[in-house]
Structure 1
Amino acid sequence: MFRISLIFLGGGLGALARFGLAGWVARLFPSTFPLGTLSVNIFGSFLIGLLITGLEGRLSCSSPFYGFLVIGILGGFTTFSAFSLESVNLMRNGAWGSAGSYVTLSLLCCLIGTMVGMRLGKWW
């Protein structure tokens, strides 16, 4: 029950962080392009790469801290469902170029973010 409580708490904190960062980016760069979600997902991908590699050998997947941090906070922070909805909405609105750019940027930048995080995590 303790681990489940930590995941629950982490998920709430991650969702609040996502709300804050996505909103801040959207206010900073107003656009119909979903830059807030893109930023959150790239940053979340970087963080998961950094943490998983940096904590490798020091943190078990069965650890309550892993559940809190990786499953809870980062799971609540990144949002594939919002990415999917925003992509479909761009297509439904006829913004096929923006939809294609968003999907491509999301995939490439999130993969790169994870790899950069993993590389930096090795120094940790």
Structure 2
Amino acid sequence: MDLFILSVSGGLGAIVRYLVGNIIMEKYPDPPIPMAMLSVNILGALGLGLFYGAYFRYIPMDAYDNLWFLALGIGFFGAFTTFSTFSMEALELFRKKSYQRLVWYVAISLLGSIVMFSVGYGLGLWI
């Protein structure tokens, strides 16, 4: 049953990532940094933080047996966000010698995700 829930929620997260990414790429067809994955990762961090704050009220390190964590934390948000695509896009900026864009992309991605997770977590606690 756990694998079924993980598969469905992960599939939904991947579909939403694809749709959101396409919308952003249509709106910004030639961005200076990869806006689609940057936006998806920051939105995912916000959503995961909101979930943690609202549902758990703390950040559990042993939540793998929790059905909601499996479905939302690992499944949906795990598939919605993507560190592998972030890494590939960062390496591509490096390969193109776009060092300034690379630094901005990495900094905004990492700091933005941490900040937005914190904002989401705080909002979740407030709800």
What is the TM-score normalised by the length of structure 1? Answer: 0.93
Alignment-derived partner of residue 14 in structure 1: 13
Q: Does 1:110 align with 2:113?
A: yes
- The CA RMSD over aligned residues, in Å, is 1.5
Aligned-pair CA distance for 1:15: 0.6
Alignment-derived partner of residue 100 in structure 2: 97
- Inter-partner Cα distance in structure 2 for 1:104 and 1:71: 24
Aligned-pair CA distance for 1:63: 2.3
Structure 2, unaligned runs of 5 or more = none
- Inter-partner Cα distance in structure 2 for 1:123 and 1:107: 24
- Inter-partner Cα distance in structure 1 for 2:29 and 2:102: 17
Q: Does 1:41 align with 2:44?
A: no
Q: 1:85 aligns with which of 74, 84, 88?
A: 88
SS in 1 for 2:126: coil
Encode CA deviations 1:7-50: one digit per residue, 9 max, x unaligned: 11111110111111111111111224210000000000001111
SS in 2 for 1:55: helix
* One-letter amino acid of the counterpart of residue 84, structure 2: S
* One-letter amino acid of the counterpart of residue 36, structure 1: A
SS in 1 for 2:90: helix
SS in 1 for 2:5: helix
Alignment-derived partner of residue 24 in structure 1: 23
- Inter-partner Cα distance in structure 2 for 1:31 and 1:95: 15
* One-letter amino acid of the counterpart of residue 122, structure 2: R
